[in-house]
Structure 1
């Protein structure tokens, strides 16, 4: 499914480093680390009238990723919240909004890989757009298992929510070429990891399963689903899952901030049911409860 442009986004204001700029003027230097080497961290935030879903968890992950990469001059949560509030207010946004929050290592004094060349501090970007959920969650999505493996920790720890997304983009390209909505990525042992942009859950015999987060991002929506299951006495397990098990599931769904909960209706040409009663219950449970996870910026 290809996202479309919303005309309301033509004249949005974007926060970059020190203030708000019109969309056409919102830029970073060609010496910025995000340009030089994808050296940045990011979060996707979903805005409802009640607030931003799991805001503190997202800001904590941003901070932890930046610390792992040894960023300097990391803005505080209060500073980031102020920049988000300024951006939303400037655009009159309080619903149906997706925020791409990015923190780069900042501008270099000359091009190069060495972080010691970054001597101006980090650069915060708040890009808020009018944007519906990325997938049609009624129809579901069709996916293709790809040859591109998800990074294992010995190569690049997936717990770092970094901007170097080529691993995932290559998987998405393979799915695009095949006319599918997303690429399904395995880990280095050939167990299921995740889709190129979202986590996966499997329903089988009245239970819910999700892959271990060894080679995938343990997403915040993923953790919300696990929490809701436990609160509702729904049996849920983390375990290694093979493609064969996924093909023969009673239901499969993807989770992520941009799509929330999305049924997967086809994997590698195999039809996956989307009418399983437990899967329907889980999707409804999430829909009823997601706004209770919203947090205000105050």
Structure 2
């Protein structure tokens, strides 16, 4: 099979050729958004990032995304050099400069900055952080359910590279994705250190069995914001949901499977390791959860995060 798709596949949009990018306090054309080869992010993957999605002038769950960004920066001892309000204002400024009102995706990246010499020690990054916001017109276009292949790469132990960090260092996930594509799939299904089903290389993973929704314990995967929203929505709507250990045997026998992430929200899975899951199409539970999530996005809870709001982001 060669017709690979990705969980971040979007419609082509010519407007993205002319986007403006926020880079270290300046909004510049895409071609001028340049970072030094001495930057610690380029050189070593030393940095953290967040992805945010714009719906109807609203940056969905911005508070949670900023919580995660600042927590990750603290964990790697990186001073972003901006307050939460300043970071969010930079997002709003970039949105306004690009004239975006919806169907947009922002990637907010922070590295330890330019190094004085091309070596590993973080003390060589003395010029302050590099902060960039790439914002694109982006409407998901995933033509069929995703095919997964189980790979030997793990998402992993906290003492190696904690999977809860949205780190620039993604090589293990990239290698997993390559292995899945070599096997004819679209994305990699990754196990945890005990052999239980964990996550994919880019998204969180759920299955549906006999009316119950299962996902991993969360001990070895990214603490996905969309993942948590799905869990919360299930609990609020009397859908049995469990964060638990489960195996590939449980997974192959599932009635449905789907992925969660900021970009695609809930993406159905049709095949795992050559085995059809359910009907091979989006199942009724996935469709129901999608509807509940859309209602949540459209609800009044995000009104205070609309473009141009002068209120603080934290604690709303």
TM-score, normalisation: structure 1: 0.95
How far is the alpha carbon of 1:173 from its aligned partner?
Answer: 0.7
How far is the alpha carbon of 1:156 from its aligned partner?
Answer: 1.2
How far is the alpha carbon of 1:278 from its aligned partner?
Answer: 2.8
Separation (CA, whole Å) in 2 of partners of 1:114 and 1:275: 48
Q: Superposition pairs for residues 133-212 of structure 1, below 5 Å?
A: 133=140, 135-136=142-143, 139-212=144-217
1:135-159 CA-to-partner distances (Å, cap 9, x unmatched) read: 34xx311111112111221211111
| Residue from 55, 58, 61 that aligns with 1:54 | 61
List gaps (5 residues or longer) in structure 1: none
Partner of 1:296: 306
* Counterparts in 2 of 1:275 and 1:17: CA distance versus 1, 3 Å: closer
Separation (CA, whole Å) in 1 of partners of 2:91 and 2:267: 27
Separation (CA, whole Å) in 2 of partners of 1:226 and 1:92: 34
| Residue from 127, 132, 136 that aligns with 1:125 | 132
Q: CA RMSD in A?
A: 1.5
Paired residues of 2:55 and 2:297 also in contact (CA < 8 A): no
| 1:284 correspondence with 2:291 | yes
1:3-35 CA-to-partner distances (Å, cap 9, x unmatched) read: 364211111110111201110110111111101
1:182-237 CA-to-partner distances (Å, cap 9, x unmatched) read: 11111111111101100011111111111011111020000000111111111111
Say which is worse superposed, 147-156 or 275-284, in terms of deviation: 275-284
Partner of 2:313: none
Paired residues of 1:151 and 1:167 also in contact (CA < 8 A): no
Q: Displaced runs of 4+ in structure 1, greater than 3 A?
A: 2-5, 274-277
1:109-164 CA-to-partner distances (Å, cap 9, x unmatched) read: 2211111111111111010001112634xx31111111211122121111111110
Partner of 1:255: 260
Partner of 2:49: 42
TM-score, normalisation: structure 2: 0.90
List gaps (5 residues or longer) in structure 2: 310-316
Paired residues of 2:268 and 2:282 also in contact (CA < 8 A): no
1:227-262 CA-to-partner distances (Å, cap 9, x unmatched) read: 111111111110011111010011111000111101
Paired residues of 2:80 and 2:110 also in contact (CA < 8 A): no
| Residue from 4, 18, 25 that aligns with 2:32 | 25
